[in-house]
Structure 1
Amino acid sequence: MKIWTKLMFHGGIALPITYLDQIDHYIQFLHVQRKSHSIDFHLHQGCEIYFLLQGDVKYFVEKTVYPLQFGDLIITNQHEIHKPSFSSDVVYERITIEFDPLIAAQYQTEDFNPLSCFYDRPIGTRNKLSLTSNDSAALLSLFMKYDALKNHPSLGNAVMKMGCFMEIMVHINRLFQEQKITDQGLDLHHKLSPVLDYIEMHLGEDLSLDQLEKQFFINKYYLIKLFKKYTGNTIHEYIIYKRISLAKKLLAEGSSVTEACMISGFNDYTSFLRMFKKKVGILPRDYQKNYLG
Protein backbone atom coordinates (compact mmCIF):
# COMPACT_ATOMS: atom_id res chain seq x y z
CA MET A 1 0.00 0.00 0.00
CA LYS A 2 1.29 3.45 -0.86
CA ILE A 3 1.59 5.70 2.16
CA TRP A 4 0.87 9.41 1.88
CA THR A 5 1.58 12.04 4.48
CA LYS A 6 2.35 15.72 4.90
CA LEU A 7 5.94 16.40 5.91
CA MET A 8 7.44 19.53 7.45
CA PHE A 9 10.31 19.20 5.00
CA HIS A 10 11.54 21.76 2.48
CA GLY A 11 8.79 24.22 3.24
CA GLY A 12 6.14 21.75 4.43
CA ILE A 13 5.15 20.65 0.92
CA ALA A 14 2.85 17.63 0.70
CA LEU A 15 4.96 14.85 -0.75
CA PRO A 16 4.40 11.13 -1.43
CA ILE A 17 6.25 8.50 0.58
CA THR A 18 7.60 5.59 -1.40
CA TYR A 19 6.61 1.96 -1.75
CA LEU A 20 8.46 -0.16 0.78
CA ASP A 21 8.71 -2.96 -1.76
CA GLN A 22 10.74 -0.61 -4.00
CA ILE A 23 13.28 0.08 -1.27
CA ASP A 24 16.30 -0.73 -3.47
CA HIS A 25 15.30 2.13 -5.76
CA TYR A 26 15.22 4.65 -2.92
CA ILE A 27 18.10 3.29 -0.84
CA GLN A 28 21.11 2.31 -2.94
CA PHE A 29 23.80 0.43 -1.02
CA LEU A 30 27.19 -0.14 -2.64
CA HIS A 31 30.28 -1.91 -1.30
CA VAL A 32 33.12 -1.40 -3.77
CA GLN A 33 36.76 -2.50 -3.80
CA ARG A 34 38.96 -1.57 -6.75
CA LYS A 35 42.11 0.22 -7.84
CA SER A 36 42.19 3.96 -7.29
CA HIS A 37 40.96 5.89 -10.30
CA SER A 38 39.99 9.41 -11.29
CA ILE A 39 36.53 10.53 -10.12
CA ASP A 40 34.95 13.80 -11.21
CA PHE A 41 32.94 16.26 -9.15
CA HIS A 42 29.37 15.13 -8.76
CA LEU A 43 26.01 15.77 -7.12
CA HIS A 44 23.44 13.19 -6.07
CA GLN A 45 19.68 13.44 -6.32
CA GLY A 46 19.45 12.75 -2.60
CA CYS A 47 21.79 12.26 0.36
CA GLU A 48 24.89 10.08 0.63
CA ILE A 49 26.69 8.29 3.44
CA TYR A 50 30.31 7.45 2.58
CA PHE A 51 32.40 5.10 4.78
CA LEU A 52 36.08 4.52 3.96
CA LEU A 53 37.45 1.00 4.48
CA GLN A 54 40.85 1.40 2.83
CA GLY A 55 42.68 3.69 0.45
CA ASP A 56 44.85 6.79 0.30
CA VAL A 57 41.97 9.27 0.07
CA LYS A 58 41.25 12.94 0.45
CA TYR A 59 37.63 14.00 0.09
CA PHE A 60 36.66 17.34 -1.43
CA VAL A 61 33.30 18.86 -0.39
CA GLU A 62 32.47 22.35 -1.65
CA LYS A 63 35.53 24.34 -0.46
CA THR A 64 37.06 21.92 2.03
CA VAL A 65 39.40 18.97 1.62
CA TYR A 66 39.09 16.23 4.26
CA PRO A 67 41.94 13.74 4.74
CA LEU A 68 40.41 10.32 5.44
CA GLN A 69 41.44 7.13 7.19
CA PHE A 70 39.68 3.84 7.90
CA GLY A 71 36.34 4.38 9.59
CA ASP A 72 35.85 8.03 8.64
CA LEU A 73 32.39 9.05 7.44
CA ILE A 74 31.45 11.70 4.91
CA ILE A 75 27.83 12.88 4.78
CA THR A 76 26.46 15.04 1.94
CA ASN A 77 23.10 16.24 0.70
CA GLN A 78 21.92 16.87 -2.87
CA HIS A 79 23.28 20.44 -2.95
CA GLU A 80 26.88 19.66 -1.94
CA ILE A 81 29.47 19.13 -4.67
CA HIS A 82 31.94 16.43 -3.70
CA LYS A 83 34.55 13.98 -4.93
CA PRO A 84 37.28 11.72 -3.56
CA SER A 85 40.83 12.12 -4.80
CA PHE A 86 43.68 9.65 -4.42
CA SER A 87 47.30 10.22 -3.46
CA SER A 88 48.44 6.79 -4.61
CA ASP A 89 47.19 3.78 -6.56
CA VAL A 90 46.68 1.50 -3.54
CA VAL A 91 43.46 -0.52 -3.39
CA TYR A 92 40.42 1.64 -2.68
CA GLU A 93 37.47 0.23 -0.73
CA ARG A 94 34.41 2.05 0.49
CA ILE A 95 30.75 1.67 1.37
CA THR A 96 28.19 4.21 0.21
CA ILE A 97 24.49 4.58 0.82
CA GLU A 98 22.63 6.99 -1.46
CA PHE A 99 19.03 7.57 -0.43
CA ASP A 100 15.96 9.64 -1.12
CA PRO A 101 15.54 11.89 1.96
CA LEU A 102 11.79 11.37 1.93
CA ILE A 103 12.12 7.71 2.85
CA ALA A 104 13.94 8.74 6.04
CA ALA A 105 11.74 11.78 6.74
CA GLN A 106 8.68 9.62 7.32
CA TYR A 107 10.34 8.34 10.52
CA GLN A 108 10.73 11.79 12.05
CA THR A 109 9.40 12.09 15.60
CA GLU A 110 9.05 14.97 18.04
CA ASP A 111 12.54 14.39 19.43
CA PHE A 112 14.37 12.93 16.43
CA ASN A 113 14.87 14.08 12.85
CA PRO A 114 16.86 11.48 10.88
CA LEU A 115 17.85 14.14 8.33
CA SER A 116 19.21 16.61 10.88
CA CYS A 117 22.89 15.86 10.23
CA PHE A 118 22.38 16.26 6.49
CA TYR A 119 20.51 19.58 6.50
CA ASP A 120 20.82 21.33 9.88
CA ARG A 121 24.20 22.83 9.05
CA PRO A 122 25.55 25.29 6.47
CA ILE A 123 26.30 23.83 3.04
CA GLY A 124 29.80 22.37 2.85
CA THR A 125 30.44 22.25 6.61
CA ARG A 126 30.69 19.41 9.16
CA ASN A 127 30.71 16.80 6.39
CA LYS A 128 33.32 14.59 8.05
CA LEU A 129 32.69 12.43 11.10
CA SER A 130 35.74 10.84 12.70
CA LEU A 131 34.77 7.67 14.56
CA THR A 132 36.29 5.87 17.52
CA SER A 133 37.26 2.24 16.96
CA ASN A 134 34.10 1.13 18.82
CA ASP A 135 31.86 3.38 16.74
CA SER A 136 33.54 2.25 13.52
CA ALA A 137 33.02 -1.39 14.46
CA ALA A 138 29.37 -0.81 15.38
CA LEU A 139 28.62 1.05 12.18
CA LEU A 140 30.53 -1.44 10.03
CA SER A 141 28.48 -4.23 11.59
CA LEU A 142 25.27 -2.46 10.52
CA PHE A 143 26.64 -1.93 7.01
CA MET A 144 27.53 -5.61 6.74
CA LYS A 145 24.06 -6.55 7.98
CA TYR A 146 22.49 -4.39 5.26
CA ASP A 147 24.84 -5.89 2.67
CA ALA A 148 23.80 -9.41 3.71
CA LEU A 149 20.11 -8.51 3.55
CA LYS A 150 20.63 -7.07 0.09
CA ASN A 151 22.50 -10.10 -1.25
CA HIS A 152 20.44 -12.80 0.49
CA PRO A 153 16.79 -11.70 0.52
CA SER A 154 14.25 -13.66 2.52
CA LEU A 155 10.77 -13.20 3.99
CA GLY A 156 10.29 -9.64 5.24
CA ASN A 157 13.51 -8.51 3.57
CA ALA A 158 12.35 -4.96 2.78
CA VAL A 159 11.17 -4.40 6.35
CA MET A 160 14.47 -5.71 7.72
CA LYS A 161 16.48 -3.46 5.38
CA MET A 162 14.41 -0.44 6.34
CA GLY A 163 14.95 -1.19 10.02
CA CYS A 164 18.70 -1.58 9.50
CA PHE A 165 18.87 1.63 7.47
CA MET A 166 17.09 3.61 10.19
CA GLU A 167 19.40 2.15 12.82
CA ILE A 168 22.32 3.45 10.74
CA MET A 169 20.64 6.87 10.53
CA VAL A 170 20.11 7.05 14.30
CA HIS A 171 23.73 6.05 14.89
CA ILE A 172 25.11 8.66 12.49
CA ASN A 173 22.95 11.44 13.91
CA ARG A 174 24.11 10.58 17.42
CA LEU A 175 27.74 10.74 16.29
CA PHE A 176 27.07 14.04 14.53
CA GLN A 177 25.57 15.57 17.68
CA GLU A 178 28.40 14.32 19.88
CA GLN A 179 31.26 15.61 17.77
CA LYS A 180 32.73 19.05 18.18
CA ILE A 181 31.68 21.66 15.63
CA THR A 182 34.75 21.58 13.44
CA ASP A 183 35.32 20.83 9.78
CA GLN A 184 38.52 18.87 10.47
CA GLY A 185 39.48 19.75 6.91
CA LEU A 186 42.53 21.14 5.18
CA ASP A 187 42.56 24.69 3.94
CA LEU A 188 42.96 25.04 0.21
CA HIS A 189 45.84 27.02 -1.21
CA HIS A 190 45.58 30.62 0.00
CA LYS A 191 45.08 31.79 -3.59
CA LEU A 192 42.22 29.35 -4.24
CA SER A 193 39.98 30.12 -1.25
CA PRO A 194 39.03 33.67 -2.31
CA VAL A 195 38.43 32.46 -5.87
CA LEU A 196 35.96 29.82 -4.68
CA ASP A 197 34.26 32.36 -2.41
CA TYR A 198 33.87 34.70 -5.39
CA ILE A 199 32.45 31.91 -7.56
CA GLU A 200 29.92 31.10 -4.82
CA MET A 201 28.71 34.70 -4.69
CA HIS A 202 28.66 35.38 -8.45
CA LEU A 203 27.27 32.25 -10.09
CA GLY A 204 24.91 34.27 -12.28
CA GLU A 205 27.73 36.41 -13.66
CA ASP A 206 30.71 36.00 -15.96
CA LEU A 207 33.05 33.41 -14.43
CA SER A 208 35.32 32.88 -17.41
CA LEU A 209 39.01 32.33 -16.80
CA ASP A 210 39.70 35.75 -18.28
CA GLN A 211 37.32 37.35 -15.78
CA LEU A 212 38.83 35.47 -12.83
CA GLU A 213 42.30 36.44 -14.00
CA LYS A 214 41.32 40.12 -13.98
CA GLN A 215 39.48 39.89 -10.67
CA PHE A 216 42.30 38.21 -8.75
CA PHE A 217 45.38 39.29 -10.69
CA ILE A 218 46.33 35.65 -11.14
CA ASN A 219 47.48 34.05 -14.38
CA LYS A 220 44.63 31.90 -15.67
CA TYR A 221 46.94 29.04 -16.62
CA TYR A 222 48.45 29.05 -13.15
CA LEU A 223 44.91 29.03 -11.70
CA ILE A 224 44.02 26.01 -13.85
CA LYS A 225 47.13 24.17 -12.66
CA LEU A 226 46.62 25.11 -9.02
CA PHE A 227 42.97 24.04 -8.96
CA LYS A 228 43.78 20.75 -10.66
CA LYS A 229 46.55 20.04 -8.16
CA TYR A 230 44.38 20.59 -5.08
CA THR A 231 41.09 19.09 -6.27
CA GLY A 232 41.99 16.70 -9.08
CA ASN A 233 39.51 18.38 -11.45
CA THR A 234 39.14 21.51 -13.55
CA ILE A 235 37.78 24.80 -12.29
CA HIS A 236 35.39 24.83 -15.27
CA GLU A 237 33.81 21.59 -14.08
CA TYR A 238 33.52 22.97 -10.55
CA ILE A 239 31.67 26.06 -11.79
CA ILE A 240 29.27 23.93 -13.81
CA TYR A 241 28.39 21.84 -10.77
CA LYS A 242 27.98 24.91 -8.57
CA ARG A 243 25.54 26.32 -11.11
CA ILE A 244 23.68 23.00 -11.36
CA SER A 245 23.45 22.92 -7.56
CA LEU A 246 21.95 26.42 -7.51
CA ALA A 247 19.52 25.51 -10.29
CA LYS A 248 18.34 22.47 -8.30
CA LYS A 249 17.76 24.66 -5.26
CA LEU A 250 15.79 27.20 -7.30
CA LEU A 251 13.67 24.51 -8.93
CA ALA A 252 12.93 22.99 -5.52
CA GLU A 253 11.79 26.41 -4.30
CA GLY A 254 9.35 26.75 -7.21
CA SER A 255 11.25 28.88 -9.74
CA SER A 256 10.49 28.22 -13.39
CA VAL A 257 13.01 26.35 -15.51
CA THR A 258 13.80 29.57 -17.38
CA GLU A 259 14.37 31.47 -14.13
CA ALA A 260 16.61 28.72 -12.78
CA CYS A 261 18.58 28.75 -16.02
CA MET A 262 19.24 32.50 -16.01
CA ILE A 263 19.81 33.01 -12.27
CA SER A 264 22.31 30.15 -12.06
CA GLY A 265 24.38 31.55 -14.90
CA PHE A 266 23.39 29.34 -17.83
CA ASN A 267 22.67 32.01 -20.39
CA ASP A 268 21.75 29.51 -23.11
CA TYR A 269 18.52 27.63 -22.38
CA THR A 270 19.26 24.66 -24.64
CA SER A 271 22.73 24.23 -23.16
CA PHE A 272 21.22 24.38 -19.68
CA LEU A 273 18.75 21.59 -20.45
CA ARG A 274 21.49 19.43 -21.95
CA MET A 275 23.93 20.02 -19.09
CA PHE A 276 21.30 19.50 -16.37
CA LYS A 277 20.23 16.20 -17.94
CA LYS A 278 23.86 15.10 -18.22
CA LYS A 279 24.76 15.92 -14.62
CA VAL A 280 21.50 15.17 -12.80
CA GLY A 281 20.11 12.41 -15.00
CA ILE A 282 16.73 14.01 -15.72
CA LEU A 283 15.49 17.25 -17.26
CA PRO A 284 14.90 20.28 -14.99
CA ARG A 285 11.11 20.12 -15.34
CA ASP A 286 11.09 16.43 -14.36
CA TYR A 287 13.37 17.15 -11.40
CA GLN A 288 11.00 19.85 -10.19
CA LYS A 289 7.97 17.63 -10.71
CA ASN A 290 9.56 14.79 -8.73
CA TYR A 291 10.60 17.17 -5.97
CA LEU A 292 7.41 19.15 -5.55
CA GLY A 293 5.07 16.24 -6.27
Structure 2
Amino acid sequence: MTKDLVSYKTSDFYFSHPFTESPTDIDTHIHDCYELFYFISGDVKYYIEGQVYQLEKNDMIVTNSRELHRIVFNSQKNYERKWIQFKSEFIFPLQTKDYNMLTYIEKRKLGYFNRIRSENVISYGIDKYWLEIEKYCQNDSAESSIMIKTLLVQMLIKINKIFSENKIVIMDSFENNEKINTILDYINENLNKTITLDLLEKLFYVNKYYLSHIFKKSTGFTVIEYITYKRIIEATKLLYKGIPILEISDAVGFGDYSNFYKAFKKITGVSPKQYTKEF
Protein backbone atom coordinates (compact mmCIF):
# COMPACT_ATOMS: atom_id res chain seq x y z
CA MET A 1 0.00 0.00 0.00
CA THR A 2 1.34 3.42 -1.00
CA LYS A 3 0.54 6.65 0.79
CA ASP A 4 1.33 10.05 -0.72
CA LEU A 5 2.76 12.13 2.12
CA VAL A 6 3.09 15.16 -0.15
CA SER A 7 2.06 15.69 -3.76
CA TYR A 8 2.24 18.81 -5.94
CA LYS A 9 1.66 18.99 -9.68
CA THR A 10 1.56 21.56 -12.45
CA SER A 11 1.62 21.13 -16.22
CA ASP A 12 5.42 20.81 -16.37
CA PHE A 13 6.48 20.00 -12.78
CA TYR A 14 5.57 17.16 -10.42
CA PHE A 15 6.80 16.60 -6.85
CA SER A 16 5.88 13.52 -4.85
CA HIS A 17 6.86 12.09 -1.47
CA PRO A 18 5.37 8.55 -1.29
CA PHE A 19 5.70 5.86 1.39
CA THR A 20 5.03 2.20 0.52
CA GLU A 21 4.59 -0.77 2.81
CA SER A 22 5.59 -4.17 1.37
CA PRO A 23 6.56 -2.84 -2.08
CA THR A 24 6.43 -4.87 -5.30
CA ASP A 25 8.75 -4.56 -8.29
CA ILE A 26 8.13 -1.67 -10.68
CA ASP A 27 8.14 -2.72 -14.33
CA THR A 28 10.15 -1.20 -17.13
CA HIS A 29 9.10 2.37 -17.86
CA ILE A 30 10.27 5.68 -19.20
CA HIS A 31 9.17 9.28 -18.68
CA ASP A 32 8.69 12.03 -21.25
CA CYS A 33 10.55 14.38 -18.91
CA TYR A 34 13.54 14.59 -16.57
CA GLU A 35 13.38 12.79 -13.23
CA LEU A 36 15.27 13.40 -9.99
CA PHE A 37 14.81 10.58 -7.48
CA TYR A 38 15.80 10.87 -3.80
CA PHE A 39 16.03 7.60 -1.87
CA ILE A 40 15.11 7.56 1.83
CA SER A 41 14.54 3.94 2.85
CA GLY A 42 13.98 0.43 1.49
CA ASP A 43 15.98 -2.37 -0.12
CA VAL A 44 16.18 -1.35 -3.73
CA LYS A 45 18.05 -2.10 -6.93
CA TYR A 46 17.52 0.54 -9.59
CA TYR A 47 18.09 -0.70 -13.16
CA ILE A 48 18.86 1.88 -15.85
CA GLU A 49 19.80 0.78 -19.35
CA GLY A 50 22.82 -1.51 -18.84
CA GLN A 51 23.57 -0.56 -15.23
CA VAL A 52 22.26 -1.59 -11.83
CA TYR A 53 22.50 0.57 -8.72
CA GLN A 54 22.02 -0.76 -5.18
CA LEU A 55 20.66 2.29 -3.41
CA GLU A 56 21.66 3.61 0.00
CA LYS A 57 19.91 6.23 2.11
CA ASN A 58 20.22 9.76 0.65
CA ASP A 59 21.37 8.50 -2.76
CA MET A 60 19.94 10.29 -5.78
CA ILE A 61 19.13 8.93 -9.22
CA VAL A 62 18.98 11.20 -12.25
CA THR A 63 17.34 10.10 -15.53
CA ASN A 64 16.44 11.80 -18.78
CA SER A 65 13.61 11.11 -21.19
CA ARG A 66 15.58 8.46 -23.16
CA GLU A 67 16.58 6.13 -20.32
CA LEU A 68 14.59 2.98 -19.65
CA HIS A 69 14.51 2.04 -15.99
CA ARG A 70 12.86 -0.29 -13.52
CA ILE A 71 13.01 -0.95 -9.77
CA VAL A 72 13.50 -4.32 -8.07
CA PHE A 73 13.08 -4.87 -4.34
CA ASN A 74 15.42 -7.27 -2.56
CA SER A 75 13.09 -7.48 0.44
CA GLN A 76 9.77 -6.14 1.70
CA LYS A 77 11.27 -3.33 3.79
CA ASN A 78 9.21 -0.15 3.81
CA TYR A 79 10.02 1.98 0.79
CA GLU A 80 10.17 5.77 1.08
CA ARG A 81 11.41 8.22 -1.53
CA LYS A 82 10.87 11.62 -3.06
CA TRP A 83 10.91 12.42 -6.73
CA ILE A 84 10.64 15.35 -9.06
CA GLN A 85 9.63 15.12 -12.70
CA PHE A 86 9.93 18.24 -14.81
CA LYS A 87 10.04 19.34 -18.42
CA SER A 88 12.63 21.68 -19.83
CA GLU A 89 9.93 24.33 -20.24
CA PHE A 90 9.73 24.63 -16.46
CA ILE A 91 13.23 26.08 -16.16
CA PHE A 92 13.61 27.48 -19.66
CA PRO A 93 13.10 31.14 -18.63
CA LEU A 94 16.12 30.83 -16.31
CA GLN A 95 18.44 29.22 -18.86
CA THR A 96 21.19 31.37 -20.39
CA LYS A 97 23.26 30.99 -23.53
CA ASP A 98 26.37 30.56 -21.38
CA TYR A 99 25.05 27.96 -18.94
CA ASN A 100 22.84 24.95 -19.64
CA MET A 101 21.46 23.43 -16.44
CA LEU A 102 20.59 20.17 -18.22
CA THR A 103 23.96 19.52 -19.85
CA TYR A 104 25.07 16.61 -17.67
CA ILE A 105 21.61 15.09 -17.33
CA GLU A 106 21.10 15.14 -21.09
CA LYS A 107 24.56 14.49 -22.55
CA ARG A 108 25.60 11.42 -20.55
CA LYS A 109 25.87 8.07 -22.27
CA LEU A 110 22.62 6.27 -21.52
CA GLY A 111 22.79 4.46 -18.18
CA TYR A 112 26.01 6.13 -17.04
CA PHE A 113 26.50 8.48 -14.09
CA ASN A 114 22.88 8.16 -12.99
CA ARG A 115 23.61 7.87 -9.30
CA ILE A 116 24.78 10.68 -7.04
CA ARG A 117 26.12 9.05 -3.90
CA SER A 118 24.74 10.04 -0.52
CA GLU A 119 28.01 11.62 0.64
CA ASN A 120 27.87 14.03 -2.31
CA VAL A 121 24.17 14.72 -1.80
CA ILE A 122 24.91 15.71 1.80
CA SER A 123 28.21 17.54 1.27
CA TYR A 124 26.76 19.68 -1.55
CA GLY A 125 23.63 20.43 0.48
CA ILE A 126 21.23 18.88 -2.03
CA ASP A 127 19.26 17.22 0.78
CA LYS A 128 18.39 20.71 2.03
CA TYR A 129 16.94 21.64 -1.36
CA TRP A 130 14.65 18.61 -1.21
CA LEU A 131 13.37 19.77 2.19
CA GLU A 132 12.83 23.32 1.00
CA ILE A 133 11.05 22.29 -2.20
CA GLU A 134 8.78 19.97 -0.23
CA LYS A 135 7.99 22.79 2.22
CA TYR A 136 6.88 25.11 -0.57
CA CYS A 137 4.90 22.33 -2.26
CA GLN A 138 2.76 22.28 0.89
CA ASN A 139 2.52 26.06 1.08
CA ASP A 140 -0.21 28.01 -0.71
CA SER A 141 1.60 31.33 -0.42
CA ALA A 142 1.88 33.59 -3.45
CA GLU A 143 5.63 33.07 -3.74
CA SER A 144 5.56 29.25 -3.52
CA SER A 145 5.68 28.54 -7.26
CA ILE A 146 8.58 30.93 -7.73
CA MET A 147 10.49 29.45 -4.80
CA ILE A 148 9.99 25.90 -6.11
CA LYS A 149 11.41 26.89 -9.49
CA THR A 150 14.40 28.78 -8.10
CA LEU A 151 15.21 25.98 -5.62
CA LEU A 152 15.11 23.41 -8.42
CA VAL A 153 17.46 25.57 -10.49
CA GLN A 154 19.90 25.76 -7.56
CA MET A 155 19.69 21.98 -7.15
CA LEU A 156 20.46 21.44 -10.84
CA ILE A 157 23.48 23.72 -10.61
CA LYS A 158 24.78 21.66 -7.67
CA ILE A 159 24.19 18.45 -9.64
CA ASN A 160 26.21 19.86 -12.54
CA LYS A 161 29.06 20.64 -10.15
CA ILE A 162 29.03 17.10 -8.80
CA PHE A 163 29.12 15.61 -12.28
CA SER A 164 31.93 17.90 -13.41
CA GLU A 165 34.07 17.62 -10.27
CA ASN A 166 33.53 14.02 -9.13
CA LYS A 167 33.22 11.80 -12.20
CA ILE A 168 35.63 9.19 -10.85
CA VAL A 169 33.61 8.84 -7.63
CA ILE A 170 30.35 8.56 -9.52
CA MET A 171 31.81 6.08 -11.98
CA ASP A 172 32.26 3.57 -9.17
CA SER A 173 28.52 3.51 -8.62
CA PHE A 174 27.59 0.93 -11.25
CA GLU A 175 28.35 -2.69 -12.01
CA ASN A 176 29.70 -2.87 -15.53
CA ASN A 177 29.30 -5.64 -18.11
CA GLU A 178 31.19 -4.72 -21.28
CA LYS A 179 29.54 -7.41 -23.39
CA ILE A 180 26.07 -6.15 -22.48
CA ASN A 181 27.10 -2.53 -23.02
CA THR A 182 28.37 -3.39 -26.50
CA ILE A 183 25.09 -5.14 -27.31
CA LEU A 184 23.09 -2.17 -26.00
CA ASP A 185 25.09 0.17 -28.21
CA TYR A 186 24.44 -2.06 -31.22
CA ILE A 187 20.69 -2.17 -30.53
CA ASN A 188 20.43 1.61 -30.13
CA GLU A 189 22.35 2.19 -33.37
CA ASN A 190 20.33 -0.32 -35.43
CA LEU A 191 16.71 0.06 -34.34
CA ASN A 192 15.60 0.32 -37.98
CA LYS A 193 16.91 -3.17 -38.72
CA THR A 194 15.64 -6.63 -37.81
CA ILE A 195 17.23 -7.62 -34.50
CA THR A 196 16.75 -11.14 -33.17
CA LEU A 197 18.39 -13.26 -30.50
CA ASP A 198 19.81 -15.45 -33.28
CA LEU A 199 21.42 -12.40 -34.88
CA LEU A 200 22.89 -11.18 -31.58
CA GLU A 201 24.21 -14.68 -30.92
CA LYS A 202 26.12 -14.64 -34.23
CA LEU A 203 27.37 -11.08 -33.96
CA PHE A 204 28.63 -11.27 -30.37
CA TYR A 205 29.61 -14.93 -30.10
CA VAL A 206 27.40 -15.69 -27.11
CA ASN A 207 24.76 -18.40 -26.75
CA LYS A 208 21.34 -16.79 -27.14
CA TYR A 209 19.93 -18.49 -24.04
CA TYR A 210 22.86 -17.35 -21.94
CA LEU A 211 22.56 -13.91 -23.53
CA SER A 212 18.91 -13.72 -22.50
CA HIS A 213 19.88 -14.61 -18.95
CA ILE A 214 22.73 -12.14 -18.53
CA PHE A 215 20.84 -9.38 -20.37
CA LYS A 216 17.92 -9.61 -17.95
CA LYS A 217 20.25 -9.91 -14.96
CA SER A 218 22.37 -6.93 -16.04
CA THR A 219 19.67 -4.56 -17.27
CA GLY A 220 16.44 -5.70 -15.64
CA PHE A 221 14.82 -5.98 -19.09
CA THR A 222 14.38 -8.83 -21.54
CA VAL A 223 16.09 -8.31 -24.90
CA ILE A 224 12.75 -8.03 -26.74
CA GLU A 225 11.31 -5.71 -24.10
CA TYR A 226 14.29 -3.39 -24.42
CA ILE A 227 14.22 -3.34 -28.23
CA THR A 228 10.46 -2.68 -28.29
CA TYR A 229 10.65 0.23 -25.85
CA LYS A 230 13.55 1.79 -27.71
CA ARG A 231 11.74 1.52 -31.03
CA ILE A 232 8.65 3.21 -29.62
CA ILE A 233 10.80 6.02 -28.18
CA GLU A 234 12.31 6.52 -31.63
CA ALA A 235 8.83 6.44 -33.16
CA THR A 236 7.66 9.29 -30.93
CA LYS A 237 10.60 11.40 -32.14
CA LEU A 238 9.65 10.75 -35.77
CA LEU A 239 6.03 11.65 -35.04
CA TYR A 240 7.23 15.01 -33.71
CA LYS A 241 8.97 15.57 -37.06
CA GLY A 242 5.72 15.02 -38.93
CA ILE A 243 6.71 11.78 -40.66
CA PRO A 244 3.65 9.74 -41.76
CA ILE A 245 2.68 7.02 -39.30
CA LEU A 246 2.84 4.18 -41.83
CA GLU A 247 6.41 5.13 -42.76
CA ILE A 248 7.45 5.18 -39.10
CA SER A 249 6.52 1.54 -38.59
CA ASP A 250 9.19 0.52 -41.13
CA ALA A 251 11.65 3.20 -40.04
CA VAL A 252 11.85 1.84 -36.49
CA GLY A 253 12.13 -1.80 -37.50
CA PHE A 254 8.60 -3.14 -36.95
CA GLY A 255 7.66 -3.75 -40.57
CA ASP A 256 4.20 -4.99 -39.66
CA TYR A 257 1.97 -2.03 -38.80
CA SER A 258 -0.40 -3.98 -36.55
CA ASN A 259 2.48 -5.03 -34.28
CA PHE A 260 3.74 -1.46 -34.24
CA TYR A 261 0.27 -0.15 -33.35
CA LYS A 262 -0.19 -2.63 -30.48
CA ALA A 263 3.28 -1.94 -29.04
CA PHE A 264 2.87 1.82 -29.37
CA LYS A 265 -0.48 1.88 -27.61
CA LYS A 266 0.70 -0.48 -24.85
CA ILE A 267 3.73 1.68 -24.03
CA THR A 268 2.36 5.19 -24.53
CA GLY A 269 -1.26 4.53 -23.60
CA VAL A 270 -2.58 6.03 -26.84
CA SER A 271 -2.55 5.21 -30.55
CA PRO A 272 0.05 6.82 -32.84
CA LYS A 273 -2.67 9.08 -34.29
CA GLN A 274 -3.84 10.16 -30.83
CA TYR A 275 -0.24 10.77 -29.76
CA THR A 276 0.28 13.07 -32.73
CA LYS A 277 -2.82 15.11 -31.85
CA GLU A 278 -2.10 15.31 -28.11
CA PHE A 279 1.64 15.83 -27.98
Instruction: Tell me if both proteins adopt one fold, taking TM over 0.5 as the criterion.
Output: yes
The corresponding residue for 1:158 is 145
Matches within 5 A, 1:206-217: 206-216=194-204
The corresponding residue for 1:76 is 63
Question: Do residues 261 (structure 1) and 232 (structure 2) align?
Answer: no
| Cα shift at 1:97 | 0.8
Corresponding residue SS for 2:94: coil
| Matched letter for residue 234 of structure 1 | T
The corresponding residue for 1:26 is 12
Question: Do residues 247 (structure 1) and 235 (structure 2) align?
Answer: yes
Alpha-carbon distance between aligned partners in 2 of 1:241 and 1:93, rounded to the nearest angstrom: 28
Corresponding residue SS for 1:25: coil
CA contact (8 A) 1:200 1:242 kept: yes
Alpha-carbon distance between aligned partners in 1 of 2:96 and 2:181, rounded to the nearest angstrom: 39
Alpha-carbon distance between aligned partners in 2 of 1:71 and 1:234, rounded to the nearest angstrom: 30
Distance 1:286 1:77, change over 3 A: farther
Distance 1:134 1:122, change over 3 A: closer
Alpha-carbon distance between aligned partners in 2 of 1:80 and 1:269, rounded to the nearest angstrom: 25
Question: Do residues 93 (structure 1) and 48 (structure 2) align?
Answer: no
CA contact (8 A) 1:77 1:119 kept: yes
1:187 to 176, 189, 205: 176
Alpha-carbon distance between aligned partners in 2 of 1:58 and 1:28, rounded to the nearest angstrom: 23
| Cα shift at 1:45 | 0.7
| Cα shift at 1:289 | 6.4
**Deviating more after overlay: 32-41 vs 202-211:** 202-211
Question: Do residues 202 (structure 1) and 190 (structure 2) align?
Answer: yes
CA contact (8 A) 1:85 1:231 kept: no
Alpha-carbon distance between aligned partners in 2 of 1:23 and 1:32, rounded to the nearest angstrom: 14
The corresponding residue for 2:47 is 60
| Cα shift at 1:282 | 4.3
Q: Deviations over 1:190-240 (max 9, x none)?
A: 654443333233322222334434444544444333333334442221111
Q: Deviations over 1:19-42 (max 9, x none)?
A: xxx962211111122233211221
Alpha-carbon distance between aligned partners in 2 of 1:118 and 1:285, rounded to the nearest angstrom: 30
Q: CA RMSD in A?
A: 2.9
| Cα shift at 1:241 | 1.3
The corresponding residue for 1:227 is 215
| Cα shift at 1:186 | 0.6
Q: Where does structure 2 lack aligned partners over 5 or more consecutive residues?
A: 1-7
Distance 1:159 1:134, change over 3 A: closer
| Residues matched between the structures, number | 269
| Matched letter for residue 63 of structure 1 | G
Distance 1:180 1:259, change over 3 A: same
Q: Deviations over 1:105-164 (max 9, x none)?
A: 221124322212222333333222224266368322222222232234233332232223
| Cα shift at 1:252 | 4.3
1:125 to 78, 92, 112: 112
The corresponding residue for 1:19 is none
**Deviating more after overlay: 106-115 vs 220-229:** 220-229
Percent pairwise identity: 35
Q: Where does structure 1 lack aligned partners over 5 or more consecutive residues?
A: 1-21
Distance 1:136 1:94, change over 3 A: farther
Question: Do residues 51 (structure 1) and 38 (structure 2) align?
Answer: yes
Distance 1:135 1:92, change over 3 A: same
| Matched letter for residue 11 of structure 2 | H
Corresponding residue SS for 1:94: strand
